């Protein structure tokens, strides 16, 4: 077991930019794509991920110090540190239980595909750290290894269900044919966005507001351009951070560069994914006529969207302000401020690219996330210690993105209160919804779209 765990850990430590190309190359060969074409496709995905990481690090490098400065300026005194998803994923994969998340996720995915209970073929195995995270938290509460494994199975079922249901929105809004987002920090936003969108459709005045990148550019001219918008947002954040004129302008140009470069990096990813997606669909149509298959990918594919980026940058100072004034919050947002685009990626698709609605939905999401991240902080701290992370003194840590989503609250909360019964209840409800959605709902939708005889 230890040899397998260490081998998996080594593979995970390669990082998404190396691990995904290898997996996609193997997957493409299984799909009988020519080796040369399969190799190039996998390589382009790796290049795209490196490009995304470079742009995100550009954002983090400039936004991080500005956020620190804003924290000092607003006099924030919050006792729990938001460590961000990179540290959280290391903690999640840092235990023997967490290292088993990849085989657990893959086996569950294959079984559900064979049973026709999901349409998502998840090749984004790096993001199984999300189920490793909840599994580790439940293990920290229950001290039951088997319950931790069961938690990962149930959690990944929930993610696949949400990925299937949100895929039509994702594909239509972002033009990502055959793609779904089974990503633990993004998929839960679908459930939150649906009622908010329904509500805003019915509020007089609010339902008339339409702020998409196209409408903004049409009304504002050059000020609606994504690069110019990034410049203005960066300058505002620099002013709030009380930067000098020089540093404020540098932050503005860096933010503009992020908004312009991010879509270019996503296009590289899609260049690699397209032949694999087409090959997968051909294989499914050949062996499973009538079934549509989604390739499960990281929601990084949506991060380059103008709506997602614009709303995310506006949400950075808003998140810090909310953290200060929100009663009962103990978390100081920092590590995951640059992860906000991932948190709202699917929400923006449900809101049809409307920046105003995405901003409203993001605010609601941030408020809930801060409360949940505050609640889960003791368990995250305990899991970090179990993974042999050195924490100074009585340092309390949490993570805004994954620690703050409602799925973590439900799964870990019921696991904490009801243990096997609670997690089992979630599993039964999720399985029932999978059967309804894939066996009955999809068939009824297909019949409605059939032409009359």
Q: How far apart are CA 245 and CA 239, in angstroms?
A: 9
CA distances from 187 to 160, 207, 248, 297, 391 (A): 9, 25, 35, 11, 31
More confident residue, 306 or 49: 306
Mean pLDDT of the chain: 81
Please indicate, yes or no, whether the overall pTM of this predicted structure exceeds 0.85: no
Average pLDDT of the segment spanning 111-131: 87
Residue 344's contacts (CB-CB under 8 Å, 6 or more residues apart) are 189, 308, 311, 312, 315, 358, 361, 362, 365
Enumerate the domain spans of the chain: 2-443
- Short-list 56, 55, 57, 49, CA closest to 269: 49
pLDDT computed for residue 156 by the predictor: 96
What is the pLDDT confidence band of residue 451, given thresholds at 50, 70 and 90? very low
Q: How far apart are CA 134 and CA 21, in angstroms?
A: 27
pLDDT computed for residue 196 by the predictor: 95
Residue 433's contacts (CB-CB under 8 Å, 6 or more residues apart) are 161
pLDDT surpassing 70 at residue 452: no
Write out pLDDT tens, residues 340-390: 888 999 999 999 999 999 999 999 999 999 999 999 888 888 877 776 665
Angle at 71 between CA 67 and CA 76, to 5 degrees: 150
Number of Cβ within 10 Å of residue 268's Cβ equals 18
CA dihedral 315, 340, 170, 258 (to 10 degrees): 80
- Short-list 297, 307, 294, CA closest to 270: 297
Q: How far apart are CA 51 and CA 49, in angstroms?
A: 5
More confident residue, 128 or 259: 128
Q: Strands 80-82 and 396-398: what pairing?
A: parallel
Q: Determine contact, residues 364/200, Cβ cutoff 8 Å.
A: no
Averaging pLDDT over each range in 73-82, 202-211, 325-334, 349-358, which range is the top one? 349-358
């Amino acid at each position: 077991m230890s040899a397998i765990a260490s081998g998996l850990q080594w593979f995970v430590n390669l990082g998404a930019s190396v691990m995904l190309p290898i997996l996609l190359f193997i997957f493409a060969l299984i799909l009988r794509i020519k080796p040369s074409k399969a190799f190039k496709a996998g390589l382009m995905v790796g290049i795209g991920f490196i490009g995304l990481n470079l742009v995100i690090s550009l954002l983090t490098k400039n936004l991080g110090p500005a956020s620190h400065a804003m924290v000092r300026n607003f006099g924030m005194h919050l006792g729990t540190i938001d460590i961000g998803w990179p540290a959280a994923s290391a903690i999640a994969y840092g235990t023997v239980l967490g290292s088993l998340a990849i085989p657990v996720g893959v086996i569950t995915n294959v079984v559900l595909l064979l049973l026709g209970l999901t349409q998502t073929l998840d090749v984004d195995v790096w993001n199984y750290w999300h189920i490793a995270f909840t599994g580790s938290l439940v293990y920290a509460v229950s001290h039951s290894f088997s319950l931790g494994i069961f938690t990962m199975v149930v959690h990944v079922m929930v993610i696949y269900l949400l990925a299937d249901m949100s895929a039509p929105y994702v594909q239509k809004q972002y033009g990502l044919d055959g793609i779904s987002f089974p990503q633990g920090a993004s998929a839960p936003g679908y459930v939150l966005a649906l009622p908010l969108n329904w509500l805003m459709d019915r509020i007089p005045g609010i339902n008339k507001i339409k702020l998409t990148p196209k409408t903004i550019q049409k009304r504002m001219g050059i000020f609606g351009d994504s690069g110019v918008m990034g410049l203005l947002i960066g300058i505002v954040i620099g002013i709030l951070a009380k930067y000098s004129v020089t540093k404020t302008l540098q932050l503005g140009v860096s933010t503009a560069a992020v908004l312009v470069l991010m879509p270019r990096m996503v296009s590289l990813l899609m260049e690699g994914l397209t032949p694999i997606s087409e090959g997968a669909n051909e294989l499914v149509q050949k062996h499973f006529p009538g079934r549509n298959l989604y390739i499960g990918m990281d929601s990084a594919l949506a991060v380059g969207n103008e709506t997602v980026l614009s709303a995310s940058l506006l949400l950075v100072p808003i998140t810090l302000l909310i953290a200060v004034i929100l009663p009962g919050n103990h978390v100081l947002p920092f590590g995951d401020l640059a992860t906000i685009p991932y948190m709202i990626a699917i929400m923006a698709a449900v809101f049809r690219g409307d920046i105003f609605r995405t901003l409203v939905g993001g605010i609601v999401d941030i408020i809930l996330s801060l409360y949940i991240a505050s609640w889960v902080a003791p368990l995250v701290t305990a899991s970090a210690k179990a993974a042999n992370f050195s924490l100074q003194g009585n340092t309390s840590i949490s993570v805004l993105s994954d620690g703050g989503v409602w799925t973590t609250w439900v799964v870990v909360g019921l696991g904490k209160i009801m243990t096997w019964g609670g997690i089992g209840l979630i599993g039964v409800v999720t399985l029932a919804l999978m059967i309804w959605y894939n066996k009955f709902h999809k068939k009824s939708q297909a019949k409605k779209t059939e032409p009359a005889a």
